[in-house]
Amino acid sequence: MFSSTSLSLSFLALLLCFSAVAESSSSKSNKPPAKIGQGYRLIAAEETPDGGLIGHLQVKQKNNVYGPDIPYLQLFVKHETDNRLRVHITDADKQRWEVPYNLLPRESPPALKQTIGRSRKIPITESSEYSGSQLIFSFKADPFGFAVKRKSDGQVLFNTSSDESDPLGELVFKDQYLEISTRLPKDASLYGLGENTQPHGIKLYPNDPYTLYTTDISAINLNADLYGSHPVYMDLRNVGGEAYAHAVLLLNSNGMDVFYRGTSLTYKVIGGVFDFYFFAGPTPLGVVDQYTSFIGRPAPMPYWALGFHQCRWGYHNLSVVEDVVESYKKAQIPLDVIWNDDDHMDGHKDFTLNPTNYPRPKLLAFLEKIHSLGMKYIVIIDPGIGVNSTYGVYQRGIANDVFIKYEGEPFLAQVWPGPVYFPDFLNPKTVSWWGDEIHRFHELVPVDGLWIDMNEASNFCSGKCKIPKGKQCPSGTGPGWICCLDCKNITKTRWDDPPYKINASGLQVPIGYKTIATSAVHYNGVLEYDAHSIYGFSQSVATHKALQGLEGKRPFILSRSTYVGSGKYAAHWTGDNKGTWEDLKYSISTMLNFGIFGVPMVGSDICGFYPAPTEELCNRWIEVGAFYPFSRDHANYYSPRQELYQWDSVAQSARNALGMRYKLLPYLYTLNYEAHVSGAPIARPLFFSFPTYTECYGLSTQFLLGSSLLISPVLEQGKTEVKALFPPGSWYSLFDMTQTIVSKGGKYVMLDAPLHVVNVHLYQNTILPMQQGGLISKEARKTPFSLVVTFPAGESEGKAQGNLFLDDDELPEMKLGNGKSTYVDFYATVSGGSVKIWSEVQEAKFALDNAWIVEKVTVLGLGRRVDASAVEIDGKPATGVSGVEVSSAEQVHFDDDKDGGKSTSVMVEVKGLSLLVGKKFELAWNMGIKN
């Protein structure tokens, strides 16, 4: 509802008008303006029939810094859900560029009302509020500013209004320059605003500019724009011991600099509109749920995608690929997916095969062999289509007029094939053509997914180019990324040389540098200037649509460039990282940020893309990478081979870490399901589970898988121990369940971590489903289940809970109710001397048809031992069930609160069970029988 402190409102509308303020002669000066703009005043507002608010703003005083001000703006405010508020500001007189509504579906704002209220002048002095269920929008009329407040706790989440004691820059709205600032409390912790490599960790660092403009400059560039653009941040605050989170999205695809100064945040955007979305939270998980409900839920991943992947740029022929697969098997290291970079292509051209190095009959025989084992095969495709009159993909593209234009002709660029044209994925004809090419290629080679790279878009040249006469391009000698086209610089339009220069590539290079010229034109006259950062996103959407039409299977796409909503269609890897200890650390922060961005299936090239990693680094990297949601080793053409079996020591670390990953696949797949239905990240910062524990707010060297599994890796050279933070509670080592950390108030612990050891701990109150592992996920998935149940160590009262999602992972949809899925909730309690563990099952048929069983239950943290005669299964003594064994063992706690720093509890293991996963069961005993 809408309310005012100074005006009575009609049911239908509110008219707010302000007397014009005469321009003071003293404000006219030859000096440069102190501010870029003097802001706007609200001159009219009315309530829409569906409960929204439309207002009109008039510029207070014009100036020409960065171009002339747009004189009138339309304001639209609406509570779209109980916890989502939209604030949309655009030119009141003409349509401006926005992220296409068909690409990112959302409600359209009202049509522009170009004359409303401009002639009425009713002075008022006080501000007004527009209230929804969870968020309150309030505004100050002159100069116009607004604030967003959460109703439940009164926290002001966003505030653009200035006052004399705490000035902010006023709202600026020009054709190619938009600026707005918000005030922030100094103790707010901010996360997001990517993609970039953040050397200070996951928290945004004051005084670093965050530039958003999709760019291929490699992940080694710190605090610079990278492959993706995600203009969203999460704000976490601790107020009086309570934690409150919210998120702010500026849905704008134009280049922008965001300046965070600790107590303020300023957006400087070179086009488009202000289209803000506020998500009320107040928990971190609630924020990503609300955010992904709007931008699109993360794509469901097939089960095999959670296995281990191997790739290299430089598998020169098929025999090398075959040898890699056999070598992994011989080394007993798990491997699910083998990849090809562009080595399989004929002359680096998309959707082709090299007839000499990858002859189709031999490749098909190889794929038939690995497919029969459950392994998969994925290849790369780039957006650049080679300009070659004998190339069918190019011929059909020209015939269908699918390419981005410059001065009426396809825009010429250079990538790996040499001269290329770029498909325009905003054009419906291009989407159809692209789908047809994928279908043709799949008939040629039955790949199991596609890897779309270089889609920022990357170009080895800059400016307007032509193919040089009498010269081969590329020459065939030297690096393929040296521009060999005949190019000239383009600065003749305001799009190529905008008045405000964003900090592109961290160097303020021209925004058309080594990409598509900003004055190039897409479908319906859309400028590359506006659409640049959604190029990779639009390609992901088109690729996903194409793959959905193949074989009726769940698509798998890996994309380098991403935008808001990309997670609905694709996974992401963090690009061309370096094989350094620093990059190993950075990989954690980037992974955690993408979980917030709604792209939970993310990982970095294990051991680094280039140059050659050391043996020790590769050991430590697989111990981290084995727990990335997307786990892949990938190396550069010019680097030495770095498959995990190349060093005996790395192979040992891989067997250990990946062996645990493959046991955890049921848990990871369930997290994949949770991500798909609620947006919950697979890999999470610790503050997601411990939001009131401020010590973990900036922690970037550890992470959680789901809510309860803590990974504490070694990230420094020469270290054989790691300092790890343990939030309050009991933490059980997953590799040695007799070892426990008891952390009453939260503390750092120095953990032993020799070369082949990674520390993984499971939190109390958890039930973790696991299987026995294997070398391929298909085989691992057939093994019996075990349940690990954790209670607070030595306590007489406690509860634990876990869940398990199972389905036919080849189906396009991931959901219950289709007859091809099962969902199980596991519960456990300890009360006094009694322990009870039971399950509840939804859609049991799928699990029963697959005859999955729980073979073992391990309970950690108990106060007393148990005798086998006390254990009952579904109310009957377990001693009467053949093969069931019960054992107990002492658990040692590292516990500073106890004399000597140690205490003990009991681990009880019941094995030899045959409990059907698809049938509810109850396991219970009384511990009082044996002390």
Catalytic positions, please? 453, 456, 576
Q: Are strands 834-842 and 797-807 parallel, antiparallel or unpaired?
A: unpaired
CA dist 539 and 534 (Å) reads 9
CA dist 561 and 571 (Å) reads 10
Q: Are strands 385-386 and 418-421 parallel, antiparallel or unpaired?
A: antiparallel
CA dist 207 and 543 (Å) reads 39
Ordered alpha helix ranges (H), 735-892? 777-780, 845-850
Sign of CA dihedral 318, 319, 320, 322: positive
Return the SS3 of 384.
coil
Our CA dihedral for 404, 410, 411, 417, rounded to 10 degrees, sits at 100
How far is residue 828 from each of residues 409, 790, 834, 884, 893, measured CA to CA in Å? 67, 9, 11, 20, 22
Tokens of 902: 């140690």
CA dist 561 and 459 (Å) reads 14
H or E stretch covering 194: strand 189-194
Can you name the residues that pair with 915 across neighbouring β-strands? 854
DSSP state at residue 74: E
CA dist 583 and 198 (Å) reads 10
Q: Is 192 left (phi over 0), alpha (psi -120 to 50) or beta?
A: left
Q: Are strands 605-606 and 631-633 parallel, antiparallel or unpaired?
A: parallel
For helices 360-373 and 318-331, give the axis angle rounded to 10 degrees.
Answer: 20
Q: How many CB atoms lie within 10 A of CB 206?
A: 15
Q: Which residues of 115-151 are buried (b: 16+ CB within 10 A; e: fewer)?
A: ebbeeeeeebeebbebebebbbbbbbbbbbbbbbbbe
CA dist 309 and 231 (Å) reads 30
H or E stretch covering 748: strand 747-752
How far is residue 622 from each of residues 486, 590, 599, 779, measured CA to CA in Å? 44, 17, 22, 22
CA dist 33 and 406 (Å) reads 37
DSSP state at residue 334: -
As a whole number of Å, the CA-based R_g of the chain is 29
What is the 3-state composition of the chain as percent helix, strand, coil, each rounded to the nearest 5? 20, 30, 45
Return the SS3 of 320.
helix
Taking alpha carbons only, the member of 784, 891, 767, 762 closest to residue 835 is 767
Contact between 357 and 399 under an 8 Å Cβ cutoff? The reply is no
CA dist 858 and 196 (Å) reads 42
CA dist 381 and 752 (Å) reads 44
Q: What is the largest CA-CA distance in the chain?
A: 99
Return the SS3 of 181.
strand
Contact between 466 and 410 under an 8 Å Cβ cutoff? The reply is no
Return the SS3 of 385.
strand
Taking alpha carbons only, the member of 301, 188, 205 closest to residue 247 is 188
CB-side neighbour CA atoms (13 Å) of 792: 10
Contact between 917 and 852 under an 8 Å Cβ cutoff? The reply is yes
